[in-house]
Amino acid sequence: MEHNACLKPSKDVEFQDVYYTVKERKHYIKVTGTRQILRGVSGSFRNGQLSAIMGPSGAGKSSLLNALSGLRTSDVKGHIKIERKGSCYITQEDNHQTLLTVEELMTLSCNLKLPHCKRNAEIITEILENLHLNHRRNVYAEKLSGGERKRLSIALELVANPKIFFLDEPTSGLDEVTAAQCIRLLSQLAKEGRTIVCTIHQPSATIFNYFDSIFVLANGQCVYQGQPGTVIPFLRHVHIECPKYYSPSDYIIELCDADEGKLIPVLSELTDNGKLIYAPQHHQQQQQLNGLNNTTTLPICQNLSKDFQQSVRTFFVEEPKRSRWQHFLSAGTNLSTDGTLIGGVTAFYEHLKTFTKLLDTEHEDTSSLHQFCVLFKMMLVRIMRARVALLIQFLHHVLTALCFGLIFLNLGNQGSRMFDHLKFCIGVIIIIAYTQVMVPILSYPMEIKIVRKETFNRWYKLTPYYMALNFSRLPLQIALNMIMLTIIYWMSGLPPQLWRFGLFASIGLMTSLIAEGMGLAIGMTFSITNGSAVGPLTIAPLMGLAVYGFDFAAQIPYAMNLLMKFSYIRVAVVALILTVFGFERPELECDEMYCHFGDPRVLLKFLDIEQLSMWYLFSLLTMLMLFYRVLMYLSLRRRCGT
Ligand SMILES: Nc1ncnc2c1ncn2[C@@H]1O[C@H](COP(=O)(O)OP(=O)(O)OP(=O)(O)O)[C@@H](O)[C@H]1O
């Protein structure tokens, strides 16, 4: 493609003795043992080639892809050579930012990745044309077909022209024709000088032959590494004949799938668990012409036929390079780091590409401020475009306020209805808290997948994203809460004092911000199913604390008093009661013979809150707000980490 304006040359991916071990747990808690998912596999994926990691279900394909790409680093050991900075990972589900068109998503990607590149429009058009998406540029991403969505995922990453593409099951969910088109496209991209590695479960014969190299995994071990066309001769070395008219890819996978622990170890030993690449002589001659041949001693295959020995070669000809990382390596610690070679030194030649000076230009990382501005704008656009959601939220706030206002119509000045006053204050806070907690719990788990993918592919950093998320939600939140609180305040007949209404609205807004922070923290941590249980479960004790002990306020034990400070609902309710009845509020009207709480000071004294200052309560609310926002940030980091 011509668009390579801000590009760098591609590199290979090499790995040696990679292990991935997970702890097995009983009831999610008790560790009962460990399980090796990857068992010391080695291998290489070359630049300019389309490579497939194949194998039966559960063989460890995704685990290997995740380990190589760096998506998973914990529990992975071994040596992996990869330039992380120039790689990208395309997930199986093509989740994109919703409510943005193809062109807007491409522009977003360009703005985040190539902020100083003057040719963004040109680049976008070129990529879209090459990926046959130009005619869909004004369509929302969620309206695209499966194949188009996959191409869009590739297009979005192509903007920064990564050298290495990792794709998890790129053909899953696609029909045969679309899957073949997708693989053809990947093959073409590889030929343009990229390293493309994808997992694939069981490709059709057509798709199988598009791959330049395949790496077959079974039970966490490599059972074959080489070209697709040489699977049959390879199997002959262990006296297995692929039936006529049978696809070799299907056959080797079925063999491994049905294996009862006999064949896999043999094949794995033949390939030295991925250290040996199988290439029969006529293939080798071709490689020799390319200067790739590097046959060395075959440590485990001495007793095999000469024919076999001449057909394999190893690329791991040296011990891992002694470097300043050596002490980490010898301790068995992984891993790849951006651009740093750790072990797996190759005997292969470096396939250098000739790039013009312009093509060599590396794009700088964008500043956090720039990322914040781009993301903030994008989030606002998305909020404004979610018309149905906006309408529902607007109606929800207006209707709730009207119902609430009707229930407590003109209550504000009635001295005989003390309990109703309390119910009013508690009700306002609970409505706000509950609404704001549940929305992010139900909506955020989908978003976190997109954020994880985009931050992993270095579209932006987490901090600017987090800031943009917080600030972009503010305007709508303020507007909706102001509408609701205004209706409630005036319908309930509270004193028509602007400053008192200001305080009333500020407490409502604070509650809304805290509840939203709590909802986001839960939404970022749990799935929708778990979150919708955790949300009410978390808010219920806070509500309980909010209504506790109003009738024996002076006798509330110290420990409970302390605990109540952690319930933002309680703190907000108290602040609201103070706002409504404090600040020298004149005596309320009494339509009975005697109104004990006609004088607001009596009520405040009865509730034991007359000494509390508004500053103190606002400080508590601010601290609780910060607590949940920090929790939310930590959840985000944890979910988007590796
Ligand atoms: N974090 C983990 N904890 C426990 N088991 C895991 C973990 N990650 C992977 N596994 C297990 O390791 C095995 C290999 O998983 P992996 O997803 O890599 O397989 P796969 O070859 O991609 O399978 P498929 O083709 O079905 O997607 C599976 O049995 C899976 O349950």
Q: Phi, psi at residue 575, to the nearest 5°?
A: -65, -35
Per-residue model confidence (pLDDT) at position 219: 92
Report the pLDDT averaged over residues 534-538.
92
* Distance from Cα 62 to the centre of ligand 1, integer Å: 7
The residue nearest atom 17 of ligand 1, judged by CA position, is 62
Q: What is the complex's ipTM, to 2 decimals?
A: 0.96
User: Which CATH number does the domain housing residue 251 bear?
Assistant: 3.40.50.300
Average of per-residue pLDDT values in the chain: 84
By three-state DSSP, how is residue 161 classified?
Answer: coil
439 lines ligand 1 (CB under 6 A): no
The residue nearest atom 10 of ligand 1, judged by CA position, is 37
Greatest CA separation found in the chain?
A: 113
334 and 424 share a domain? Answer: no
Return the best residue to mutate from 20, 41, 63, 222 for the ligand 1 pocket (most ligand atoms within 8 A of CB).
Answer: 63
Comparison of pLDDT for 551 and 69, the residue scoring more: 69
Comparison of pLDDT for 419 and 337, the residue scoring more: 419
413 and 333 share a domain? Answer: no
Residue 308: pLDDT band by 50, 70, 90 thresholds?
low
Strands in 445-512 per DSSP E: none
Report which ligand 1 atom has the smallest distance to the Cα of 59: 21
State percent of the chain over pLDDT 70.
Answer: 85
Per-residue model confidence (pLDDT) at position 324: 38
337 and 379 share a domain? Answer: no
* H, E, C per residue of 220-288: CEEEEEECHHHHHHHHHCCCCCCCCCCCHHHHHHHHHHHCCCCHHHHHHHHCHHHCEEECCHHHHHHHH
For residue 577, being part of any structural domain is answered with: yes
* Distance from Cα 40 to the centre of ligand 1, integer Å: 16
pLDDT in tens, 96-150: 998 999 999 999 999 998 877 778 888 899 899 888 899 999 999 999 998 899 9
The residue nearest atom 24 of ligand 1, judged by CA position, is 57
Report the pLDDT averaged over residues 164-169.
94
Structure tokens at 600: 């607001």
* Distance from Cα 221 to the centre of ligand 1, integer Å: 13
382 and 240 share a domain? Answer: no
For residue 310, being part of any structural domain is answered with: no
The residue nearest atom 25 of ligand 1, judged by CA position, is 57
Please give the single-letter amino acid code of residue 406: L
- The last residue of one of the domains, among 295, 324, 343, is 343
Structure tokens at 542: 């806070």
Nearest to 254 by CA among 42, 37, 57, 41: 57
Residue 296: pLDDT band by 50, 70, 90 thresholds?
very low
383 and 269 share a domain? Answer: no
Q: What is the C-alpha separation between 419 and 267, in angstroms, rounded?
A: 79
Nearest to 341 by CA among 528, 31, 82, 621: 82
Contact 620, 461 (CB under 8 A): no
Per-residue model confidence (pLDDT) at position 317: 37
pLDDT in tens, 3-47: 444 444 447 899 999 999 998 877 667 778 889 999 999 999 999
Q: What is the C-alpha separation between 422 and 430, in angstroms, rounded?
A: 12
For residue 286, being part of any structural domain is answered with: no
Structure tokens at 222: 């490599």
* Distance from Cα 58 to the centre of ligand 1, integer Å: 5
542 and 588 share a domain? Answer: yes
201 lines ligand 1 (CB under 6 A): yes
571 and 506 share a domain? Answer: yes
Residue 358: pLDDT band by 50, 70, 90 thresholds?
very low
Structurally, how many domains does the chain consist of? 2
Domain ranges, residue 505:
373-640
Contact 597, 603 (CB under 8 A): yes
Structure tokens at 372: 């914040």
248 and 385 share a domain? Answer: no
Residue 284: pLDDT band by 50, 70, 90 thresholds?
low
* Distance from Cα 524 to the centre of ligand 1, integer Å: 23
Least confident range of 21-30, 83-92, 357-366: 357-366
Does 292 have pLDDT greater than 50? no
For residue 419, being part of any structural domain is answered with: yes
Please give the single-letter amino acid code of residue 105: L
For residue 364, being part of any structural domain is answered with: no
464 and 335 share a domain? Answer: no
Rg of the Cα trace of the chain?
32
Residue 161: pLDDT band by 50, 70, 90 thresholds?
confident
35 and 86 share a domain? Answer: yes
For residue 621, being part of any structural domain is answered with: yes
The pTM assigned to this predicted structure is 0.82
334 and 386 share a domain? Answer: no
pLDDT in tens, 395-412: 999 999 999 999 999 998
For residue 179, being part of any structural domain is answered with: yes
For residue 320, being part of any structural domain is answered with: yes
Per-residue model confidence (pLDDT) at position 466: 96
69 and 20 share a domain? Answer: yes
Residue 256: pLDDT band by 50, 70, 90 thresholds?
confident
Q: Which helix (DSSP H) or strand (DSSP E) does residue 606 occupy?
A: helix 600-606
